[in-house]
């Protein structure tokens, strides 16, 4: 029987991961189901928009501006070799709108709001608050999870717009004001080369990322009691870390898939 042990271990691990995937799948299904069930309450959604959106604005604008600045700087020195600094606006615009805007926004939201959501729900699980909700016959999905999904779906595209906007102007400051690129070339080149399909791709990405962030972060918090080390403050922080990593990786993977489908 001993020779079977390694197989057993692998099997156990695989079953564990499968069960995890299954739980997450059920979590998403329940969330979506509750998304369409009445009652529809506005106030919790507003609260979530405030938390996910309003409070992330400054971080997003900041990172957006600096991303645009780095893009402009790098792009300038790359393009100058071919005498095509005029294409800088187009390069900055396309990278921002298609890729970096949605992805970096999602990564920052994961770090700021996603981790907080995971910790919040994890702590609720740990301190029996979720049980208490159940006992009051209040559905935790409807009460807790659905507003977060709606909030994220509303906020992410808007935050991505902020990011893009700041990135465009951050790039503008560096390219036009500092490096002396032709202002008209920067903006008109950008406006011309970015087409609606690119913006559309960015929007689709940010919707997907919104779902991923809430799904992964809220889900891991919700199923905290299934994690082996999920107890106490340390357990919550460990699971939060895992959720952030998982959500970041998922964002990058989906980004690739969406890009390869829509390009």
Name the binder of 244 from another protein, a copy of itself, none, CB < 5-8 A by kind: a copy of itself
Q: Which stretch binds another protein (CB under 8 A): 42-50, 104-112, 207-215, 241-249?
A: 42-50
Contacts of residue 208, defined as CB under 8 A and 6 or more positions apart, other chains included, come to 254, 258
Q: Roughly what angle, to the nearest 10 degrees, separates helices 146-172 and 196-222?
A: 140
Instruction: Give me the torsion for CA of 161, 167, 173, 174, rounded to 10°.
Output: -170
Does 249 contact another protein by CB under 8 A?
no
Enumerate residues 6+ apart whose C-beta is below 8 A from 136. none
44 forms part of the interface with another protein (CB under 8 A): no
Smallest separation (angstroms) from a copy of itself to the CB of 260:
6
Tokens of 39: 């009652």
Which one, 34 or 175, has the nearer CB to a copy of itself?
175
Region 56-115 residues binding another protein, contact defined as CB under 8 A: 57, 80-86, 93, 97
36 is in the binding site of which of another protein, a copy of itself, none (Cβ under 5 to 8 A by kind)?
Answer: none
Are 117 and 220 contacting, i.e. CB atoms less than 8 angstroms apart? no
Spatial distance between the Cα atoms of 75 and 96, rounded to a whole number of angstroms: 12
Cα separation, 250 vs 254, in Å, equals 6
CA–CA dist 31, 168 (Å, integer): 36
Supply the minimum distance, in Å, between the C-beta of residue 122 and a copy of itself.
8
Q: Is 65 helix (H, G, I), strand (E, B) or coil?
A: helix
Name the minimum Å distance from CB 260 to another protein. 5
User: Dihedral of the CA atoms 213, 217, 223, 224 (nearest 10)?
Assistant: 170
Longest dimension (CA), the chain: 76
Nearest residue (CB) to a copy of itself, 98 versus 148: 98
Tell me which residue of 71, 123, 114, 158 sits closest to 250, measured CA to CA. Answer: 114
Looking at the Cβ atoms of 35 and 46, the one nearer to another protein is 46
User: Judged by CB under 8 A, does residue 14 bind another protein?
Assistant: yes
* Residues forming the site for a copy of itself (CB under 8 A): 59, 62-63, 66-67, 69-70, 73-74, 77-78, 94-95, 98-99, 107-108, 110-112, 115-116, 119-120, 123, 126, 232-234, 236-238, 240-241, 244-245, 248-249, 252-253, 255-256, 259-260, 263
What residues between 135 and 194 interact with another protein by CB under 8 A? 135-139, 143, 154-155, 157-159, 161-162, 164-165, 168, 177-178, 180, 182-192, 194
Contact between 218 and 118 under an 8 Å Cβ cutoff? The reply is yes
Given the rule CB under 8 A, which of 20-28, 102-110, 207-215, 239-247 is the region that contacts another protein?
A: 20-28
The reply on whether position 50 binds another protein by CB under 8 A is: yes
Determine, following the binding rule CB under 8 A, whether residue 252 of this chain makes contact with another protein: no
Which residue, 120 or 142, is less far from a copy of itself as judged by CB? 120
């Amino acid at each position: 029987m001993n020779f079977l042990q390694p197989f057993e271990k692998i099997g156990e691990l695989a079953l564990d991961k499968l069960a995890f995937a299954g739980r997450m799948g059920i979590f998403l299904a329940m969330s979506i189901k509750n998304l369409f069930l009445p009652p529809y309450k506005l106030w919790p959604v507003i609260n979530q928009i405030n938390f996910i959106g309003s409070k992330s604005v400054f971080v997003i604008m900041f990172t957006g501006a600096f991303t645009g600045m780095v893009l402009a700087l790098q792009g300038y020195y790359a393009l100058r070799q071919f005498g095509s600094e005029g294409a800088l606006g187009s390069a900055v615009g396309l990278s921002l709108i298609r890729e970096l805007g949605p992805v970096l926004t999602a990564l920052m939201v994961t770090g700021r709001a996603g981790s907080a959501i995971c910790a919040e729900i994890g702590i609720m699980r740990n301190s029996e608050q979720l049980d208490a909700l159940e006992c009051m016959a209040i559905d935790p999905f409807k009460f807790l999870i659905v507003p977060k999904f709606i909030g994220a779906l509303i906020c992410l595209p808007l935050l991505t717009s902020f990011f893009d906007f700041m990135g465009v102007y951050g790039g503008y400051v560096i390219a036009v004001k500092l490096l002396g690129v032709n202002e008209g070339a920067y903006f008109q080149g950008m406006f011309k080369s970015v087409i609606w399909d690119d913006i559309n791709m960015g929007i689709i990405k940010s919707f997907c990322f919104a779902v991923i962030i809430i799904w992964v972060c809220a889900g891991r918090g919700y199923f905290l009691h299934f994690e082996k080390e999920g107890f106490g403050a340390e357990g919550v922080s460990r699971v939060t870390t895992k959720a952030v990593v998982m959500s970041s990786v998922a964002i990058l993977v989906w980004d690739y898939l969406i890009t390869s489908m829509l390009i």
